[in-house]
Structure formats: structure tokens, C-alpha cells
């Protein structure tokens, strides 16, 4: 593969900018694409060249794969980075890119296809001794047969659409009486939403954590993992806070999860950066959920603790280079936390609060990273995901990274729209979060809009911060004890060794 000289980023906003920054540092020319709503976006201004794709709706701009390929030819681009969302996991697009003699900065269309279907993914990994949630590994249509399987697995169970994604297409069934009704609904929903009615059954894990492993694979067959990200703090199955490493993963568990993730990558001959998602139960047993065949939103926390630039690694792999490091060269350095800052109103059921960024001042200082794609005075468009930025802090320990996040949140000045910053502040200072003892139900269990009193004066805020940070300091020793007790009780060793 030749060296990439000109890269087009088929995306917008923060991720487009983040990718182009790395490309620029590698001496690669950058091309941005944009819709009419994003004409003055920082990603457009940063790029060496920029192409307008069309009107604001994604279907008339960022999703126009053929048009993007045509523009690449016209501008003599030699590679496309799809970012996340939009065309990033579209196997047909990846195939067309390659057929047009362009480099796709990502895995092969075949790998995207296999991992894009939950059932195909389960089948692909079945030969590799990877723990799967107890359930069926094939599409199930016969109600009686399905009922029998559900009884075998034991209620509660989850009916999942094979083609589902983004947390959609799942139904929990508590008991046999509801089964038939829920199964019929699941099939008809899957048919109408995804054009594929195949569903399967899984054991429903009642108190799950979502922990994922970052992997990198090159074209020479080398695969490494870059440890885990804890992504259990979610709202409607969408991640809101992520951290690395996880407070409950021990070196042995990390190693076992890392090895399982590498096998998943091997099962689909994976090249590039990818993420293997696991669901973890109360006893810290982990099970393969799915693989995301792209750069993840939350990749910065991994970059902070490993010192690796994942976008640069993606580009080098796409150029056919061998990974320049081995598994044993990788180390975890400190702790990183990321919060997703959304233009949403947490006091009003997180409804998008679109408008003008009247004030927009980023926090700064040691260990703070802001990945964003807006400037003061800009309008947040209604056409896309309302994420304003990702705020990331890195420090020597988890407690320090959390305290640093409080400082960063308090230093972030945004007016003109409502944001989720106060909600994030509430979440990271909650005892369940600081103790590390939480699951994916955190928000529904602990959050009430009235907990966010936004009427504090600056002075009151300062006092509250001092109290919370002092509280964290005191908690340090307690955290270590809680987590180690949890591990002792959980019997994770038993699973690993037996």
C-alpha cells in the first residue's frame, strides 16, 4: 500500500477535526466535507480543502457515499476516513471505496458485514472459545421452540433483533406468560425498523456493566489490545461517562478480556482500530456482546492512558505498515475520565436544547482535553446528534482524574443553551460512581432532575467543590477496600481458572 498523501474525512464536527489534526501532524493533506448547516464549522476551516455535499439533512449530505467518492477522484484524494456514525459501518460504502482504488481507513467490508449482524458475529466467534451470554446462536422464528429455549435459559430473558443497533430492537421478558406477545412485537419491530425480522434470545443480565476492549490489528496479522474502557454510565443505552481503566477490572481479568477481544478480532481477520464490547455480570463474569468496527466516540480515554494516538495508528495500518509495538510494550499510565457534553436539558427529560452558543469558553490547565467542533457564537444545528464536546481529564489516579473533572466542568463556560454539564458533575460525584460500585442502571436509579440546583452562586459552587474534593480524598482508602472486597466476593477467580 502506498503512503497516504491526501485524506478525506467523511464526517463532521469534533471527530472530523480530531482526525484531521492527526493527519496534519503526519504531513497528510486534509479534505473536509460539509453540509450547508456546517459551512463555518471549525472542521471546515481547519482542512486544507473543503467540499460542500448538499443541504443539511444527513441523507442529502454526509450519507451520500457515491458523491463523496466522486469528490475524492476529482481532488485526487487517496484515502477516506469515515469517523464514527454516518458511513463508518456501512460495508457497501467501504466496498465501493476499495473498488474505486481508494484506501478505506478501517477494516475490510467483510469484517464490517460480519460484525454488523449480531447473529453472524456470534457464529463467527463460536469456534474461538469466547464467552457468550447464554442464549440462542441462530435466528428463532418458531414460538413454541423459542419458549422452550427461554425456559432452558431461565427468565428474565432478552429478545434481540439481529440487525439492531444503538440500543434499539431489544425486549425484556420477565415470565413465560408475556413471551408470545413480546416475541411477536419484537419480530414486527425488527422488520419495520431494520428490514430484517430475525431475532434471538439471550439471558437478561439484571445488573450489567458495559466494559469494552480497544484493539488494533495490522495487515501482517499482529493484534494487540489497549486495555478496557468502562462505559456503564448510560442513558437509554447511550454512553454518557466513560473511563479507563475500569475500577473493577483486575490485572487477571484485564488479561482474560484482552485475550478474548484479540480472538474476536482474529475471527474476522480484523485490520485497523476496533472495539470489542462485553457485558459483565454482578460476579464479574464477562460475555462478548458485539464488535464495533470503527473508531469509538470514547477513544480519547484510551489515548490518555496509553499515550498512543489511535487515529495515527489507524492511518499507519491503512498504509500497510506493521504495528510498531508489541502487547508487552503497552502500559496503563494513570486514569482518564470522559464526559459527553450535550446540548440537552437534564431538567426537562434531556430534550435537545438547540440554539446559539452565546458564551463558549473551554476549561484548561494540566490534564484537560476538550474534543469539540464549535466556537463561541455558533449555532448547534438541529439536524445532527446534539453533542457539543467531549471533556476528558487525565491524572495519576482515579480520584485525581475525578477531582480534575470537577474543576474542568466548573471552568467550562457555556451560555445560550442548556447542557448536560451539571448532570455530569452530579454523576461523577455520586457515591455510586466514586466507589466504583455501579451498573448500567445508574441514571434511572440515582438521578432526579431536582438534584440539579443550578441557582448556586459562584461562592456556593466553590464551597461545594471543596467539600466534594475533600470527600473524594477521604474516600480514597474506602474505594480501594470496597473494590477489593467486591472482587473477593464475586468469585471472578473461579471463572478465570475453572
**Active-site positions?**
294
For ligand ADP, the binding residue among 17, 226, 279, 388 (CB under 6 A) is 279
Q: Is 205 in the site for ligand ADP (CB under 6 A)?
A: yes
| Interface mask toward ligand ADP for 418-437; x: CB under 6 A | --------------------
Residue closest to 68 by CA, chosen among 86, 89, 43:
86
What gap in Å lies between CA 153 and CA 419, rounded to an integer? 42
Distance CA 176, CA 168 (A): 22
According to DSSP, the β-strands at 29-35 and 6-9 are: parallel
All cell numbers assigned to 32? 473536509
- The yes or no reply on residue 131 touching ligand ADP (CB under 6 A) is no
Q: Note whether 490 and 284 are within 8 A (CB).
A: yes
Q: Which residue stretch of 187-195, 204-212, 258-266, 369-377 sits at the interface with ligand ADP (rule: CB under 6 A)?
A: 204-212
Q: Which of 56, 57, 165, 363 binds ligand ADP (CB under 6 A)?
A: 165
Distances (CA, A) of 347 to 107, 233, 326, 339, 351: 41, 18, 47, 18, 9
Question: Residue 232 Cβ, how far from ligand ADP at the closest point, in Å?
Answer: 8
In the range 435-474, which residues lie near ligand ADP by CB under 6 A? 440
Among 71, 189, 228, 277, binds ligand ADP (CB under 6 A): 277
Shortest spacing between CB 274 and ligand ADP, in angstroms: 14
Which is nearer to ligand ADP, 35 or 214 (by Cβ)?
214
Residue 274 lies near ligand ADP (rule: CB under 6 A): no
Provide, rounded to whole angstroms, the least separation between the CB of residue 323 and ligand ADP: 27
* Residue in 385, 440, 21 with CA at minimum distance from that of residue 207: 440
Least Å from the CB of residue 85 to ligand ADP: 13
55 near ligand ADP (CB under 6 A): no
Tell me how far apart the alpha carbons of residues 289 and 268 are, in angstroms, rounded to a whole number: 15
Q: Report the run of H or E that residue 114 belongs to, with start and end.
A: helix 109-116
Q: Is 240 helix (H, G, I), strand (E, B) or coil?
A: strand
Single residue of 14, 202, 230, 371 touching ligand ADP by CB under 6 A: 202
Whether the upstream peptide bond of residue 245 has omega within 30° of 0, thus cis, is yes
E strands within 373-483? 387-395, 413-415
Q: Would you count residue 411 as binding ligand ADP (CB under 6 A)?
A: no
Q: How far is the CB of 118 from ligand ADP (least distance, A)?
A: 6
- Closest by Cα among 363, 213, 352, 196 to 275: 213
How many CB atoms sit inside 10 A of residue 126's CB? 12
Count, residues near ligand ADP per rule CB under 6 A: 19
Return d(Cα 357, Cα 371) in angstroms, integer.
Answer: 16
Q: For residue 74, count other CB atoms closer than 10 A to its CB.
A: 9
Q: Which is nearer to ligand ADP, 208 or 272 (CB)?
A: 208
Residue in 202, 222, 223 with CA at minimum distance from that of residue 214: 223
Element (H, E) at 160: strand 157-161
Task: Give me the least distance between CB of 277 and ligand ADP, in Å please.
Answer: 5
Q: Which of 12, 18, 43, 210: binder of ligand ADP (CB under 6 A)?
A: 210
Stretch that binds ligand ADP, among 88-96, 101-109, 197-205, 490-498 (CB under 6 A): 197-205
Whether 200 contacts 160, CB under 8 Å: yes
Binding test (CB under 6 A) with ligand ADP, winner from 39, 73, 236, 237: 237
Contact range with ligand ADP by CB under 6 A, out of 33-41, 83-91, 159-167, 367-375: 159-167
> To the nearest whole angstrom, how small is the minimum distance from the Cβ of residue 490 to ligand ADP?
17
Q: Which stretch binds ligand ADP (CB under 6 A): 122-130, 186-194, 198-206, 372-380?
A: 198-206
d(CA 222, CA 216): 8
Shortest separation between residue 491's beta carbon and ligand ADP, angstroms: 20
> Which residue ranges make up the site for ligand ADP (CB under 6 A)?
133, 158, 164-168, 202-205, 208, 210, 237, 277, 279, 289-290, 440
Amino acid at each position: 500500500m502506498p503512503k497516504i498523501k491526501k485524506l478525506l474525512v467523511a464526517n463532521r464536527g469534533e471527530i472530523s477535526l480530531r482526525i484531521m489534526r492527526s493527519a496534519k501532524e503526519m504531513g497528510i493533506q486534509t479534505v473536509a466535507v460539509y453540509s450547508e448547516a456546517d459551512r463555518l464549522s471549525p472542521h471546515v476551516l481547519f482542512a486544507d480543502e473543503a467540499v460542500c455535499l448538499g443541504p443539511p439533512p444527513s441523507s442529502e449530505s454526509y450519507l451520500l457515499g457515491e458523491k463523496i467518492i466522486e469528490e475524492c477522484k476529482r481532488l485526487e484524494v487517496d484515502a477516506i476516513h469515515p469517523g464514527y456514525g454516518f458511513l463508518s459501518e456501512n460495508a457497501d460504502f467501504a466496498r465501493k471505496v476499495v473498488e474505486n482504488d481508494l484506501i478505506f481507513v478501517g477494516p475490510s467490508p467483510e469484517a464490517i458485514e460480519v460484525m454488523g449482524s449480531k447473529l453472524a458475529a456470534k457464529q463467527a466467534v463460536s469456534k474461538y472459545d469466547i464467552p457468550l451470554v447464554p442464549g440462542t446462536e441462530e435466528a428463532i422464528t418458531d414460538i413454541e421452540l423459542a419458549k422452550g429455549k427461554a425456559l432452558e435459559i431461565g427468565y428474565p430473558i432478552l429478545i434481540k433483533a439481529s440487525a439492531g443497533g444503538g440500543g434499539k430492537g431489544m425486549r425484556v421478558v420477565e415470565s413465560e406468560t408475556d413471551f408470545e406477545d413480546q416475541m411477536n412485537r419484537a419480530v414486527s419491530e425488527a422488520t419495520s425498523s431494520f428490514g430484517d425480522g430475525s431475532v434471538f434470545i439471550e439471558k437478561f443480565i439484571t445488573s450489567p456493566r458495559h466494559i469494552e476492549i480497544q484493539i488494533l490489528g495490522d495487515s501482517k496479522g499482529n493484534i494487540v489490545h489497549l486495555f478496557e474502557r468502562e462505559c456503564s454510565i448510560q442513558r437509554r443505552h447511550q454512553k454518557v461517562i466513560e473511563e479507563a481503566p475500569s475500577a473493577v477490572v483486575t490485572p487477571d481479568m484485564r488479561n482474560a478480556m484482552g485475550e478474548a477481544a484479540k480472538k474476536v478480532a482474529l475471527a474476522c481477520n480484523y485490520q485497523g482500530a476496533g472495539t470489542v464490547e462485553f457485558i459483565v455480570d454482578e460476579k464479574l463474569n464477562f460475555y462478548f456482546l458485539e464488535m464495533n468496527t470503527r473508531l469509538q466516540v470514547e477513544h480519547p480515554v484510551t489515548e490518555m492512558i496509553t499515550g498512543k494516538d489511535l487515529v495515527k495508528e489507524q492511518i499507519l495500518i491503512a498504509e500497510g505498515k506493521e504495528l510498531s509495538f508489541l502487547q508487552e510494550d503497552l502500559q496503563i499510565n494513570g486514569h482518564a475520565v470522559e464526559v459527553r457534553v450535550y446540548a440537552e436539558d437534564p431538567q426537562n427529560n434531556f430534550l435537545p436544547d438547540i440554539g446559539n452558543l452565546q458564551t463558549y469558553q473551554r476549561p484548561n490547565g494540566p490534564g484537560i482535553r476538550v474534543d469539540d467542533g464549535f466556537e463561541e457564537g455558533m449555532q448547534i444545528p438541529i439536524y445532527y446528534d446534539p453533542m457539543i464536546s467531549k471533556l476528558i481529564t487525565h491524572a495519576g489516579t482515579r480520584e485525581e482524574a475525578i477531582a480534575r473533572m470537577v474543576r474542568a466542568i466548573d471552568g467550562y463556560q457555556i451560555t445560550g443553551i442548556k447542557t448536560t454539564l451539571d448532570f455530569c458533575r452530579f454523576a461523577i460525584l455520586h457515591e455510586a460512581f466514586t466507589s466504583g460500585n455501579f451498573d448500567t442502571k445508574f441514571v434511572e436509579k440515582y438521578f432526579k432532575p431536582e438534584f440539579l440546583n443550578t441557582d448556586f452562586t459562584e461562592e456556593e459552587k466553590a464551597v461545594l467543590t471543596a467539600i466534594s474534593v475533600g470527600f473524594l480524598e477521604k474516600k480514597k482508602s474506602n474505594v480501594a477496600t470496597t473494590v477489593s472486597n467486591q472482587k473477593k466476593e464475586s468469585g471472578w477467580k473461579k471463572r478465570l481458572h475453572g
